[in-house]
Amino acid sequence: MAHVTFSPPYIHPDQAAHQLRSQGYAVLSPADVAAWIGAAPGELQALAQDWSDLPPDEHLKDGGRYRRRRHSCFIEEGGRLQQVEHRAHWQPVEYNALHGGMLRMFAPMRDAVVAEPAWQKLLIALGQLSDQVFRAGGPPAAWFIEAHQFRIDTTHGIGRPTPEGAHRDGVDLVAVFLVGRKDVKGGETRVFEATGPQGLRFTLTEPWSLMLLDDARMIHETTPIQPLAEGGYRDTLVVTCRRENFQGAEFDTHAVS
């Protein structure tokens, strides 16, 4: 049976804030992502090289060996970006039934990646978009940003981008960038209203295409991937923006008060 995919519903970046407020989601093409953050497409592609050497995720409770990742945290406010001291990732069980309630310490992102101008521009753009969507008309807020580099591979068969299933993240803005995919099928993105019947499905296939979500309004998941050839994988960058503080700050001696 043929493998059917649905194209992403791309919009222009100028419409992103309005669509997030009205629909709860927005999807941007790679060229528009680069233009939106003020970077050349090649600058974004240069970041992608770092996904080839991510360490294994040692916290998978399903016993899988299909996920590799790095994680770092930042604060953006008024167009200024600051990386904070490395800290654990934490989510409540209400948002992550599989891994919630666990302080998960992952390897930090490499200094060379964080220092790239395109990286700085990307996070600042997401912080400024968060201001437009969640603080329209108000002064800029401090946005507590968590960045996750993921590689889901098919070395042992099926890889699961979202082993926790359909979920919310407990933040304000969720940004999912497809960094690359090779020799896999599946990996369909599914987005649903948290309190309504509406939903959509599509497959991100172009490097640096982007899905944006109002996390309070939308539930999301990505279907498992299967290999089409040996060595298949799917790489993503997931960035979340949250007001007030990082989740789990009460457990973290390095949290910002």
CA distance 203 to 8: 6
Average pLDDT over residues 79-84: 96
- List of residues 6+ apart from 4 with CB closer than 8 A: none
Q: Using the structure block, give the residue that is written with the tokens 């600042």.
A: 124
| DSSP H or E segment with residue 23 | helix 16-23
Which residues make beta-bridge pairs with 152? 67, 234
The confidence score (pLDDT) of residue 163 equals: 86
Top pLDDT among 97 and 153 is at 153
Tokens of 180: 């690359």
Express each pLDDT in 162-213 by its tens digit: 988 888 999 999 999 999 999 999 999 999 999 988 899 999 999 999 999 9
All structural domains of the chain:
17-245 (2.60.120.620)
The confidence score (pLDDT) of residue 2 equals: 53
CA distance 149 to 47: 11
The confidence score (pLDDT) of residue 95 equals: 61
Residues in the chain: 257
Q: How far is Cα of residue 166 from the mean position of the Cα atoms in its chain?
A: 14
The confidence score (pLDDT) of residue 1 equals: 47
The confidence score (pLDDT) of residue 31 equals: 97
The confidence score (pLDDT) of residue 257 equals: 32
DSSP 7-35: ------GGGHHHHHHHHSEEEE-HHHHHH
The confidence score (pLDDT) of residue 247 equals: 82
Question: What share of the chain in percent tops pLDDT 90?
Answer: 75
The confidence score (pLDDT) of residue 256 equals: 39
